[in-house]
Chains A and B, each alone.
Chain A
């Protein structure tokens, strides 16, 4: 190996080392804050889908300002995370289970569509929430799936009503985005079946 090729390989190696070191330093510094923001968002979404008005206590979700980082939790609820970042059990202040919340990401064609689903103990969907800004889309262009009118259709729906249809019985698909709306409906229905077992058993189940 002539001297010049040694130097070529060495210089590449040194630059990689320095940049890797720097990057890991930056990552560890900013990771704390990013996680903080991430938790903040999950709490907000959890609250959004589980404001179970039919629950015994009257606590309603008060507004949560994302920008101010003080964690104003909904008055009564506590969330126990079962599966990291996908499933939470919702308990009221007397630690009675009143429902579950799970997050799914069915495959739309503009990329995965992140949906939060709040399910009451009576397997009736309380609310769903589609995170608009999570969608990896060209900046500035919204997609129709995010419109609140589409999300409202899911409130107070039983599992068997979850199918695309023209009449008000089922869910009306959005014109122009049939593929994405079908992905949302199927995604929710399949995952409800998967997470249903957490509703029934009172004791805290082991993570699957």
Chain B
């Protein structure tokens, strides 16, 4: 059976040769397959969302293994992943705050009229090509939901007022929507930050006023009102310095067009106890004249007017003021 023999020899030989070659090259070319890399890859969420700036988790893991990059830039993973990796490579994880994406524009279909009727492609980027969208406010969010499309965690949906609504539990702060939004109306702020400005319009005051009912027309009341001078006007918008701001909420309530967005579900209110010696310091401080009472008599708080900013609480020399309701500034939820 020469055919039988020949075919066995040739094919068997080929198989053997390839097997040996494979094994040999496998060892010679084997890159240092460090087990650490495997473990890091396992610790990463693996959704390849690109928030860490790399095309995939694997590439990010390789960079961590080569100690080229801080180990907490995996935003979706957040603290647990950072800790896990920290243990793996034995380096304390320098924690970057957990972040969350927020919409910095409140001009929906009701508040802000439309410049022209547009029935083109139903995607923000397409609408953006046509004079920046059909909203009369040039800077505002056109609301066609591109951010909802690209969010890898499905945290964004478009509300009936034609504006994106971000579900804070789902949102991991990966920042993809911020990058993808053509109008740059989404911003990443620390998850613990409650108050942020809800307007991005750099127009002059009067153009904003006749275009959007909730736009900031840079009256700068908030800047004067803020006890911690955390705000300063910059091209017609009050820029907030997060380190100074204590989320007291004064700017939110003092703003005539409530352009500020307050993420706190419930705010506390102040109560004055019997210790009050009627010195009146708190009355001077309270910007919402929510405190009434005559000198040297116990003062009283008008709960309806009190926004729970806590200024009286801080200023009261005899510590007579207590904050009640929403457990101080924490959110009720």
Contact = CB atoms under 8 A, between A and B. Distances in A.
B80 to A, nearest CB: 35
Nearest to A20: B11
Contacts of A20: 7-8, 10-12
Interface string B200-216: 00000000000000000
Contacts of A1: 23
Among B10, B14, B16, B19, max chain A CB count under 10 A is at B19
Contacts of A8: 19, 22-23
Contact of B18 (A12, A23, A25): A12
B46 interface: no
Nearest to A27: B3
**Could you say which interface size class chain B belongs to?**
10 to 19
A109 interface: no
Given A15-B15, A24-B3, A28-B3, A9 B8 contact: no
Nearest to B26: A5
Contact of B11 (A9, A10, A16, A25): A16
A110 interface: no
A16 B12 contact: yes
A19 B8 CA distance: 8
Interface in B18-32: 18-20, 22-23, 26-27
A21 B7 contact: yes
A169 B264 CA distance: 98
Contact of A13 (B1, B6, B16): B16
Provide the main secondary structure of the chain A interface. Answer: helix
B4 A12 contact: no
A16 B4 contact: no
Contacts of A24: 1, 3-4, 6-8
A12 B10 CA distance: 14
A9 B19 contact: yes
A37 interface: no
B207 to A, nearest CB: 65
Given A12-B18, A19-B11, 18 more contacts: A8-B19, A9-B19, A9-B20, A12-B16, A12-B19, A16-B15, A17-B11, A17-B15, A20-B10, A21-B8, A23-B7, A24-B3, A24-B4, A24-B6, A24-B8, A27-B3, A27-B7, A28-B1
Interface of A: 1, 5, 8-10, 12-13, 15-17, 19-21, 23-25, 27-28
Closest 4 CB pairs of A and B: A16-B15, A20-B11, A9-B19, A12-B19
